[in-house]
């Protein structure tokens, strides 16, 4: 499942209703005073975060949003109805900016957090407001103030509880498919994943953890090399990182070399990434190494360097249950 991480939408708040020109009419009172009511206010455009959404995919088919106009004022001093607001739901982690000026209008991080983006126009005043000593029967009422329109850019930053990082071909997508129901494209060449994939790992009947698989990272990613840098923003707000390394591909005398190179890239991209909890997943332990070293031997070397890792084969499923248990205990919110 690929997802949209950016969308541009067009929003328009409701016009204010126009004020009314009307005069009081009753039997035996041929010339009553002005009693035209005010127009109703136009609806606002409100954007609200909802936990039910995890992507911006809905906005690929729906880009225009308009709030209802205010109703016109009526006789006997009746105010027009206020136009209904339009509420647009987005996933938590959506940043809203003005597409034309770049100004950030809002950053919705938690469920139900909402922001009013454009207000509806106020209604016009009815003719009763314009009566004066000289003109007691004004035939004039105000029009409503028109709604405001804006082009907005929505950018989704928070995609997942857990982010998978690693070199191309390390087995991140395979790991996503063994931890979740997601079925991303997997192949034996670097840069198979071109856009991030998301999957949900169930914890209990109600709760699940969202896992994001991003394209492989390479040295220089923080300066734009490869593909992964474009997607680093997706891991900025993940709670937990799984750093996937390929056991069949690492150097026995320096098993963490590539790990440190990528960690350095993460740090260059945003030092705050270093504050996230993380663990190393030693993947592809089903493969034979030419030097005959087994997963236990590599794990010992990693321990000797002061780190720990969880050994798995994303392909055969070995170690996956342990990894799931570990994530439930350490990566759930
Ligand atoms: N033997 C073995 N092969 C694996 C394992 N995990 C992944 N692979 C293979 O490694 C290759 C790359 O796997 P992917 O899951 O596409 O790797 P990736 O890290 O997502 O790669 P990019 O998207 O290019 O960054 C595929 O041929 C997988 O079948 C494993 O545990 N054991
Ligand atoms: Mg992949």
pLDDT per residue as tens digits for the range 107-133: 898 889 999 999 999 999 999 999 999
Domain extent listing, the chain: 1-157, 162-330
Judged by average pLDDT, the poorest of 63-67, 243-247, 270-274 is 270-274
CA of 198 to the centre of ligand 2 (A): 11
pLDDT of amino acid 301: 96
Question: What residues contact 229, with CB distance under 8 A and at least 6 apart?
Answer: 217, 221, 222, 223, 269
pLDDT of amino acid 80: 97
Q: How confident is the model at residue 2 (pLDDT cuts 50, 70, 90)?
A: very low
What residues pair up with 164 in beta bridges, in sequence order? 213, 242
Q: How confident is the model at residue 233 (pLDDT cuts 50, 70, 90)?
A: confident
- Which residues make up the environment of ion ligand 2, defined by Cβ < 5 Å? 172-173, 192-193
CA of 170 to the centre of ligand 2 (A): 8
Q: Which atom of ligand 1 sits closest to the CA of residue 213?
A: 20
Instruction: Report the chain's C-alpha Rg in angstroms.
Output: 29
Q: Of residues 200 and 329, which shows the higher confidence score?
A: 329
pLDDT at 43 over 80: yes
State whether the beta carbon of 177 lies less than 6 angstroms from ligand 1: no
Mutate to test the pocket of ligand 1, among 165, 245, 314, 319 (most ligand atoms within 8 A of CB): 314
Q: How confident is the model at residue 200 (pLDDT cuts 50, 70, 90)?
A: confident
Is the domain spanning 162-330 CATH 3.40.50.300? The answer is yes
Which protein residue has the closest C-alpha to ligand 1 atom 21?
A: 169
pLDDT at 3 over 60: no
Q: Could you tell me which CATH class the domain 1-157 is placed in?
A: mainly beta
pLDDT at 1 over 50: no
Q: Of residues 205 and 321, which shows the higher confidence score?
A: 321
Q: What is the mean pLDDT of residues 160-165?
A: 90
Determine contact, residues 225/215, Cβ cutoff 8 Å: no
How many whole angstroms separate alpha carbon 81 and alpha carbon 110? Answer: 32
Sign (positive or negative) of CA dihedral 158, 3, 6, 83: negative
Which tokens sit at 19?
């004020």
CA-nearest of 186, 187, 178, 188 to 211 is 178
State whether the beta carbon of 247 lies less than 6 angstroms from ligand 1: no
CA of 89 to the centre of ligand 2 (A): 30
pLDDT of amino acid 321: 96
pLDDT at 300 over 60: yes
Mutate to test the pocket of ligand 1, among 163, 175, 186, 318 (most ligand atoms within 8 A of CB): 186
Q: Which atom of ligand 1 sits closest to the CA of residue 313?
A: 31
Q: Which atom of ligand 1 sits closest to the CA of residue 228?
A: 25
pLDDT at 230 over 80: no
User: Average per-residue pLDDT in the chain?
Assistant: 91
Mutate to test the pocket of ligand 1, among 163, 164, 169 (most ligand atoms within 8 A of CB): 169
pLDDT of amino acid 96: 92
């Amino acid at each position: 499942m690929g997802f949209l991480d950016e969308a541009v939408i067009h929003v328009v708040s409701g016009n204010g209703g126009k004020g009314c020109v009307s005069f009081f009419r009753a039997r035996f009172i041929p010339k009553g005073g002005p009693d035209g009511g005010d127009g109703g206010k136009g609806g606002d455009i409100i954007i609200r975060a909802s936990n039910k959404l995890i992507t911006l995919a809905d906005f690929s088919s729906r880009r225009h949003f308009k709030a209802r106009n205010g109703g016109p004022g009526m006789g006997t001093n009746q105010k027009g109805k206020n136009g209904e607001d339009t509420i647009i739901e987005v996933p938590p982690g959506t940043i809203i900016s003005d597409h034309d000026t770049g100004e950030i209008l809002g950053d919705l991080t938690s469920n139900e957090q909402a922001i009013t983006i454009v207000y509806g126009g106020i209604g016009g005043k009815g003719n009763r407001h314009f009566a004066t000593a000289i003109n007691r029967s004004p035939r004039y009422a105000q029009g409503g103030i028109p709604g405001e329109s804006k082009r907005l850019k929505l950018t989704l930053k928070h995609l997942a509880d857990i982010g998978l990082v690693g070199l191309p071909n390390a087995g991140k997508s395979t790991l996503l498919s063994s931890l979740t129901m997601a079925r991303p494209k997997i192949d034996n060449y670097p840069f198979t994943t071109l856009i991030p994939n998301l999957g949900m790992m169930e914890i209990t009947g109600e709760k699940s953890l969202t896992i994001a698989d991003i394209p492989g990272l390479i040295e220089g990613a923080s300066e734009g090399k490869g593909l992964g840098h474009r997607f680093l923003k997706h891991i900025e707000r993940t709670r937990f990182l799984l750093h996937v390394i390929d056991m069949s591909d690492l150097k026995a005398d320096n098993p963490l070399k590539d790990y440190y190179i990528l960690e350095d890239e993460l740090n260059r991209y945003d030092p705050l990434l270093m504050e996230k909890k993380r663990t190393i997943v030693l993947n592809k332990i089903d493969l034979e190494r030419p030097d005959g070293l087994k997963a236990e031997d590599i794990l010992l070397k990693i321990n000797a360097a002061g780190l720990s890792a969880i050994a798995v084969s994303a392909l055969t499923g070995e170690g996956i249950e342990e990894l799931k248990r570990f994530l439930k205990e350490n990566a759930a919110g």
